[in-house]
Amino acid sequence: MEPDILYEDNHLLVVNKPAGLLTQGDSSGALSLLDVVKAFIKKRDEKPGNVFIGMVHRLDRPVSGVVVLAKTSKAAGRLSEQIRNRTVTKLYVGLTCRSSREDQVMDIWREHRHFLIRPRDRTMVADQPAPDSQAGVLKLKTVLATAHHACHLIRLITGRKHQIRAQLAHLGMPLCGDKHYGSREPFHQDAIALHAVSFELFHPVKNEPLRITAPLPPRFAAYFPAKQRVTLETKLQNDDGTC
């Protein structure tokens, strides 16, 4: 298996993670994106020793899209600082069932603030703070809709575990295929309908703005008629997440 490389230089490696693949290894011992990337670079560059790859953020296993990796410890530290300071812009595309509450207004960014609690392996959402809760903030814009489905651009402001999945479910529109958060709508094997479509950052060495995008998987567009698919692609290409 070879990684789908979107961008690479001496400091960064940006890949398009397929749904169903762990970003980093866990106790299951299953293959991870980090394993794939390290093995690929070791073979391609004929490196005799260990390969350094810095993991600065993650995507959930059933989520696809842009993952930014560091090839040096200096780049890893500077990227981590950008993420902590929220100077990066992370955009996602999510496909949900139509909601009578949240997707009636098209092409307008709306901010959603909740409080997130994580008992065990599930993120719970509340409208008021509670003991051990963390703030969860995202911005949402509905860009396409049919009678049964809606497609949203999502700008993640805080980066909590399962944040997008939990907040959309709380808003009454769980992501297609996300049974863990109440979806009854099938999507695709080992995948939920959430794709990290772009990541904008400052290059850790050149300090120049850099925006990397990952093409939308065809299974997203398959939910919409041909004319709407063209509209969707156009909107994704032209939207940089400015709210």
Q: What is the mean pLDDT of residues 172-196?
A: 92
Q: What is the pLDDT of residue 243?
A: 61
| pLDDT exceeds cutoff 80 at 219 | yes
CA-to-CA dists, residue 167 to 12, 147, 178, 203, 222, angstroms: 31, 22, 12, 31, 25
Taking a C-beta distance cutoff of 8 angstroms, is the pair 90, 201 a contact?
Answer: no
| pLDDT tens-digit series, residues 30-43 | 899 999 999 999 99
Boundaries of every domain in the chain: 5-238
What amino acid occupies position 172? G
Per the model's pLDDT, the better-predicted residue between 121 and 51 turns out to be 51
DSSP string, 64-80: EEEEEEESSHHHHHHHH
| pLDDT exceeds cutoff 90 at 1 | no
Q: In CATH, what is the architecture of 5-238?
A: 2-Layer Sandwich (3.30)
Highest mean pLDDT among 26-30, 76-80, 99-103, 155-159: 76-80
Q: Please tell me the distance from the alpha carbon of residue 197 to that of residue 218, in angstroms, as a whole number.
A: 13
pTM higher than 0.85 = yes
Taking a C-beta distance cutoff of 8 angstroms, is the pair 6, 198 a contact?
Answer: no
Q: Where are the alpha helices (DSSP H) in 58-192?
A: 73-84, 163-170
Of 9, 26, 35, 60, which one is the catalytic site residue?
Answer: 60
Q: Indicate if 45 belongs to the active site.
A: no
Percent over 70 (pLDDT), the chain? 97
Q: What is the pLDDT of residue 178?
A: 96
Average pLDDT score over the chain: 90
How many residues would you count in the chain? Answer: 243
Q: What is the pLDDT of residue 101?
A: 56
Beta-strand relationship, 64-70 and 12-17:
antiparallel
Q: Residue 25: pLDDT band by 50, 70, 90 thresholds?
A: confident
Q: What is the pLDDT of residue 103?
A: 54
Q: What is the pLDDT of residue 118?
A: 87
Q: What is the mean pLDDT of residues 103-118?
A: 86
Q: Residue 100: pLDDT band by 50, 70, 90 thresholds?
A: low
